[in-house]
Copies of this chain bind each other. A is one copy, B any other.
Amino acid sequence: MDNNKVIIFDTTLRDGEQSPGASLNVFEKIEIARQLQRLNVDIIEAGFPVSSPSQFEAVKGIASEVSCVVAGLARAKEVDILSAYNALKDAAKFRIHTFIGTSDIHILGKFSNDSYGKSLSDKRNIVFKMTHDAVSLAKTFTDDVEFSTEDAGRTDINYLCEVIEAAIEAGATTINVPDTTGYTLPEEYGKIFRHIKQTVKNIDKVILSVHCHDDLGLAVANSLSGVINGARQVECTINGIGERAGNASLEEIVMALKVRKDLLGFYTDIMTTEIYNTSRMVSSFTGIVVQPNKAIVGDNAFAHESGIHQDGMLKDRNTYEIISPQTVGFSKTKIVLGKHSGKHGLKARLSEIGYSLNENELNEVYEKFTALADKKKEIFDDDLRIIMGDSFVNISSNHYVLEYMHVSMGTNLLPTSTVKIKKGSTLYQESATGDGAVDACFNAIERALGIKLNLESYQVRSITSGRQALGEVIVRIREDEKYFTGRGISTDVIEASVKAYISCINIHQNYLKEKEDNLMNQSSLSDISQAI
């Protein structure tokens, strides 16, 4: 590898998925991983295998699906590293990514127990030893071992260098220096890399990596500063999703490196024309909207496409546009298919926008496609993305099914709904009123099923163009500290809402069952839900 290539390490499926409410099912994760491969990222961090059985399954599924390097996260603990190895071992190429907190605040917070030593100095020594042991153990399973110093941005620089040296000595091949809390400024973050490069023994034998969070809006600038000062791997997520204000956004970093190659001289292997497709897929699956003024992938990012351009703009787009929409695959209004498109045409178009389906999946999707084409003359890419999102939800949870619904509402009329729901051979039916048509439906569903849920949020996403646009409803319910997200699509907002609520209930029921079956390892979850 030449010295100007920047490795793109995508952590959308790990750090990105830690965003509140973003939980993805295994089918969705594999679909995103396939799209990340089309985008040509170098490494996909697929999850945190030890944290839950579903994380383990997702990492295992992705590992056997894609051909690029698949990474799994593991604390500097034996149980984590073994779990990561077991999830990853079938991959064509894999990496174990182990980490430990190195700032005083993290050491004192995470290793407060006396078994990790009594004084800060004792605890530091133990963290040092844990680093060496973890990397050594990982090294027995693979040559490709990454080590991260969590909260490096706030870590004492001398101690940081010592820990990194230990990791390299134990065999780490990539050293990641994360600004976990998004606290640093670009020059300050760059300086850490300069210092590490100058100080740490054998630093030239490893790849240095940046991992930045956006709490002060500086994740992209910090990442670039790290690269300018010696890092050659960037950890980032699609749409910049992630804990709190999120991670550095893949698309912004990649395009900054590309547009300003004149000044910086670096390049990545990213297929930039796949950026927009990937962004849309991640937004649709996670339910995390992209604001219109988001750089690169926001609806308004390109003046021309927004419709608010002037003649002068058309004549010379360079006046205001430094990136052409085509470079990132931005295409809002492409008409792709209609009522008379065959299964072959559908499959081809789905493949172009990043979905590869087997025969059964295609049949199911085609059925939905023709139902939609009956209602809607022109089917856009976004419609297809929605159909796909809807399909995966249904594949993964198929308990309660809506059989019948009726709603009536109007001026001086209490909104009233009747629903009939089936589960296996059992029928549930009820009617109820509400403050609005949707509320009436939700009340009728709850009354029919004899449950009462804590509705946390209700979103309708404006999707696709034209009068008969598809609407996607996302509902989120909360139990304790956990969220459950359900989605439904329809040309009718009421119908979409009902579908979403029932899908949410099904997912919630799955969770209750899993919990009952003791499949969820709650104790290990509690201290690892936040990481790096």
A residues near B (Cβ < 8 Å) are: 19-21, 105-106, 109-110, 180-183, 185-188, 214-218, 220-222, 224-225, 228, 239-246, 249, 252-253, 255-256, 259-260, 263-264, 288-296, 298-303, 306-313, 315-316, 318-323, 375-376, 403-411, 413, 415, 418, 435-439, 442, 455-462, 465-469, 471, 478, 481, 483, 490-495, 497, 526-527, 529-530
Contact between chains at B185 and A264 (CB < 8 Å):
yes
A472 to B293, CA, bound (A): 20
Q: Taking A181-B320, A307-B456, A408-B408 as given, write out 14 further A-B residue pairs in contact, using a Cβ cutoff of 8 Å, ordered by the A residue number.
A: A19-B292, A109-B315, A186-B186, A188-B263, A216-B256, A217-B221, A243-B300, A245-B300, A409-B494, A415-B492, A435-B492, A439-B467, A457-B465, A460-B462
Q: List 16 A-B contacts (CB under 8 A).
A: A20-B307, A21-B292, A109-B316, A110-B319, A183-B260, A214-B295, A217-B253, A220-B221, A241-B293, A244-B301, A289-B291, A307-B456, A310-B529, A312-B526, A439-B467, A458-B462
Give this chain's copy count: 2
Nearest Cβ distance between residue A304 and chain B, in whole angstroms? 10
Q: Which B residues touch A438, using CB under 8 A?
A: 492-493
How many angstroms between the C-alpha atoms of A221 and B260 in the bound complex? 16
Given the interface pairs A319-B109, A469-B458, A530-B320, the reply to whether A293 lies near B185 with Cβ below 8 Å is no
Report whether B295 and A217 are in contact in the complex, using a CB–CB cutoff of 8 Å: yes
B259–A216 CB distance below 8 A = yes
A460 touches B459 (CB 8 A): yes
Write out the residue numbers on chain B whose beta carbons fall within 8 Å of the beta carbon of A312. Answer: 109-110, 526-527
Known: A216-B220, A220-B216, A436-B491. A410 touches B406 (CB 8 A): yes
The listed residue (B221, B246, B411, B418) touching A293 by CB distance below 8 A is: B246
* B405 touching A293, Cβ below 8 Å: no
Nearest 8 pairs of A and B residues by beta carbon? A436-B492, A221-B221, A406-B410, A217-B252, A460-B460, A246-B293, A245-B295, A20-B306
Instruction: Point out the residue from B181, B263, B415 that lies within 8 Å of A321, measured CB to CB.
Output: B181
Report the separation of the CA atoms of residues A320 and B183 in the bound assembly, to the nearest whole angstrom.
10
Contact (Cβ within 8 A) A216 B494: no
Q: How far is the CB of A448 from chain B (nearest CB, A)?
A: 15
Q: In whole Å, how far is A482's beta carbon from the nearest beta carbon of chain B?
A: 8
- The interface residues of chain B lying within 8 Å CB-to-CB of A303 are 243-244, 530
Neighbouring B residues of A413 by C-beta, 8 Å: 406
A467 and B455 contact, CB distance less than 8 A:
yes
A435 and chain B: residue at smallest CB distance:
B491
Interface centre among A295, A303, A311 (most CB of B within 10 A): A295
A288 touching B292 in the complex, CB below 8 Å, given contacts A311-B526, A460-B459: yes
Q: Do A322 and B408 have beta carbons less than 8 Å apart?
A: no
Q: A263-B185, A406-B410, A530-B303 are in contact. Are A490 and B436 (CB under 8 A)?
A: yes
For A251, the closest partner residue in chain B by CB is B217
A252 to B213, CA, bound (A): 13
Q: Is the CB of A259 within 8 A of B183?
A: yes
With both beta carbons as reference points, the residue of chain B lying nearest to A247 in the complex is identified as: B293
Q: Which residue of B lies closest to A292 (CB)?
A: B288
CA distance A183 to B308 in the complex (A): 21
CA separation between A469 and B302, bound complex, in Å?
34
Which chain B positions have C-beta within 8 A of A406? 408-411, 413
Cβ B291 vs Cβ A294 within 8 A: yes
CA separation between A403 and B302, bound complex, in Å? 41
Min CB distance, A8 to chain B, in Å?
15
Instruction: Give Cα A222–Cα B405 distance, bound, in whole angstroms.
Output: 55
Find out whether the CB atom of B493 lies under 8 angstroms from the CB atom of A20. no
Bound CA–CA A435/B442 (angstroms): 21
> Which residues of B lie under 8 Å from residue A299 when comparing CB positions?
20
**A322–B493 CB distance below 8 A:** no
From B186, B188, B245, B322, contact of A182 by CB (8 A)? B322
A404 CA to B180 CA, complexed, in Å: 55
Instruction: Please report the C-alpha to C-alpha distance between residue A444 and residue B316 in the assembled complex, in whole angstroms.
Output: 43
Contact across chains for A318 and B468 when beta carbons are under 8 A apart: no
Contacts known (A217-B252, A260-B185, A295-B214); A460 close to B411, Cβ less than 8 A: no
Q: Give min CB distance, A384 to chain B, whole Å.
A: 18
